[in-house]
Chains A and B, each alone.
Chain A
Amino acid sequence: MIEFRGVTKQFPDGTVAVEGVDIVIPPHKTTVLVGSSGSGKTTLLRMINRMVDPTAGQVLIDGTDVATVEPVALRRGIGYVMQNSGLLPHRKVVDNVATVPLLRGTSKREARAHALELLDTVGLDRSLAEKYPAQLSGGQQQRVGVARGLAVDPNILLMDEPFGAVDPIVRAELQQELLRLQEELGKTVVFVTHDIDEAFLLGDQVVIMQQGGRISQAASPVEILANPADDFVADFVGARRGKRALHVTEVDGQRLVVDADGRPAGVLAS
């Protein structure tokens, strides 16, 4: 379990990126941080592995304040996947995946063998193992990034817009893959996106952030749609005007579900 208690981050230039955040991130579930650009999602995420230190408040992992844990050791136990995969361009795919286990002292042979298994896990062909990152497609690079994040079998996996830079089809594929993986592995996933659809698809808990790094609502997708905390949330999730403002109309005896513009979303099953 990850817990934020009264966490604020003000950068040296005066920008307040996160303000007074209290939130509990349950274990073995996916929590998605969603909000527009600059709302402090990345900052909040990076406080978990101490890539950013809060200026006030505490971040606790299983009750331990991360401020008391040495950052390098902390980071080696937490998976981190970023938007542009962040792979080391001068290392082969398999060596990229094996990087952290090697840092932790696993033997080279064992680390490489495990890396190959992880390529299977994320749905990559082993023939890619000896290639360099720049020889892969964007989607393949992202999968390698996920494999690397899983390499030390961390309890916590941090993902910062991991699918932000791939085309919609690959993106949908990667999302399904992540759902499948999460079913299998049950990690505590903290996932950042600015795409509310992605948030509703992946999140057990969805945290909606607004400018100034405040949390508007943290709840399950169902709850957010049923009871948006305020106008901002209702607008953001499109519950009023967008494609989620659905209603039923009857056409030739069939009950159709249509969105706010009258476009059909489907048929109401009985």
Chain B
Amino acid sequence: MNLVLDAIAWILDPTNWEGVGGIPQRLWEHLWISAVILLIAAAIALPVGVLVGHTGRGREAAVTVSGALRALPTLGVLSLFALWLGIGLRAPIPALVILAIPPLLAGAYAGIESIDRRIVDAARAMGMNERQIVGKVEVPLGLPIIVGGIRSATLQIIATATLAAYVADFGLGRFIFSGLKTRDYAEMLGGSILVIVLALVVDGAFALTQRLVVPAGVRATRFTELRSRPARPRAAVG
């Protein structure tokens, strides 16, 4: 209990909010690297996931690759990259991108797959080309689940970006590692609390976004839909 109070005192100590290596700088670094990692991972995983969901092809491969990536211990991968690429941010970025890909990929293809096939079929029969089907039908309707994938990837990135400090002078993890070294447990716990608070705040923002991206026509009528639609989408062609 004392330790927690000490940690909070450490967070509130104005001297920790100043200068080089202060909380604002570390917070900013942490957010920045998380955003960069998210963007890189999204640029890789979202198009692939959407394509898999749209075509229904390569799903097995996506599941296998996701499973394999998920099984990799991030600290081990990070160490490996650090040995190979050296100290600095070059190692943590790819290590964390690998971590973020599975939830992004799964969110993207699950989002597209969740759409009633009859709607897609009708869109095609009307004369939408494949690109229009993806852009005007599948992505808007699958967006809540896609954003869900981005949300869980972001949480993992923010939590695990702490490890970047293991090989670089970067991010909130610095407090944890330096506290560990100097046995300054108040600093160590204070750093952890900051990471947790940051994660919660960002998660809250995503929860809100996820609700906002539910298309109006779907949101307005959740209840009627629950009553009148079959639970599982039926085949497109009857």
Contact = CB atoms under 8 A, between A and B. Distances in A.
Nearest to A161: B238
B32 to A, nearest CB: 34
Given A76-B127, A80-B125, A103-B132, A90 B141 contact: yes
B140 A90 contact: yes
B205 to A, nearest CB: 23
Contact of B126 (A132, A148, A161): A148
Interface string B162-199: 00000000000000000000000000000000000000
A134 B128 contact: no
Interface of A: 42-43, 46, 49, 51, 72-77, 80, 82-92, 99-100, 103, 132-135, 148, 160-161
Contacts of B136: 88
Contacts of B129: 72
Interface stretch (B4-12, B13-21, B39-47, B210-218): B210-218
Contacts of B71: none
A161 B141 CA distance: 26
Given A49-B125, A103-B132, A86 B118 contact: yes
Interface in B192-238: 215-218, 220-221, 224-225, 237-238
Interface centre among B136, B215, B217, B221 (most CB of A within 10 A): B217
A207 B132 CA distance: 35
Contact of B127 (A73, A86, A89): A73
Contacts of A76: 126-127
A148 B237 CA distance: 19
Contacts of B224: 134-135
B114 to A, nearest CB: 12
Given A75-B127, A132-B216, A134-B218, 6 more contacts: A72-B127, A87-B119, A87-B122, A100-B127, A132-B217, A160-B238
A146 to B, nearest CB: 13
